[in-house]
Amino acid sequence: MLSRCFFFRLALLGLVTACGSALFANDAETTLTADVLAKTLYAKTATEKKYCESVIAARDAKILPNRILYSAYRYAMKKDKDRRFTYFQTALTKSCKEAGVVFPVAVPTKTSYNPFTFFLSPFK
């Protein structure tokens, strides 16, 4: 038969674990900067890096809630390295739309330059 001391120790251990995880849960999330975001999402172009900076600026300006940012970040971190930024941007955009957050910054997915339009335009 188990003694009261065993149950007391078990309860104390559970309490310490719960308090410790509650105290230190936000430490990893508060260190998310634009550089860390760009490096971990493997942002390749300058526009993608500017997007990461604008996301962090929107978070600091209290436009973008932390829970939306970190849920999109955690979702993207589970994906392949080559597509993390795309998944992050898509998840962030969808979450903002669902929550009604107006986040006006977007990275163009396709280039606006088309080399074949030169031949279709009238010559002067």
Residue 1: band (very low, low, confident or very high) from pLDDT cuts 50, 70, 90: low
CB 51 within 8 A of CB 72: no
- Cα Dmax for the chain: 97
Determine the straight-line distance between the first and last CA of the chain, rounded to whole angstroms: 97
> Does residue 47 fall inside a structural domain?
yes
Domain that holds residue 75: 28-99
User: 53: buried, middle or exposed (CB in 10 Å: 19+, 13-18, 0-12)?
Assistant: middle
Residue at 13 is within a domain: no
Residue 104, domain member (yes or no): no
- Asked if residue 68 is part of any domain, the answer here is yes
Which tens digit of pLDDT belongs to each residue from 64-107?
Answer: 999 999 999 999 999 999 899 999 999 999 999 999 988 765 55
Q: Is 43 part of a structural domain of the chain?
A: yes
Q: Is residue 18 part of a domain?
A: no
Residue 80 tokens, joined: 């392949």
Q: What is the mean pLDDT of the chain?
A: 77
- Percent residues over pLDDT 70 in the chain: 61
CA dihedral (25, 30, 35, 38) in degrees, to 10, reads 50
What is the number of domains present in the chain?
1
Nearest Cα residue to 99 out of 61, 63, 50:
63
Instruction: Give a yes or no: residue 106 inside a domain.
Output: no
> What pLDDT, on a 0 to 100 scale, did the predictor assign at position 30?
54
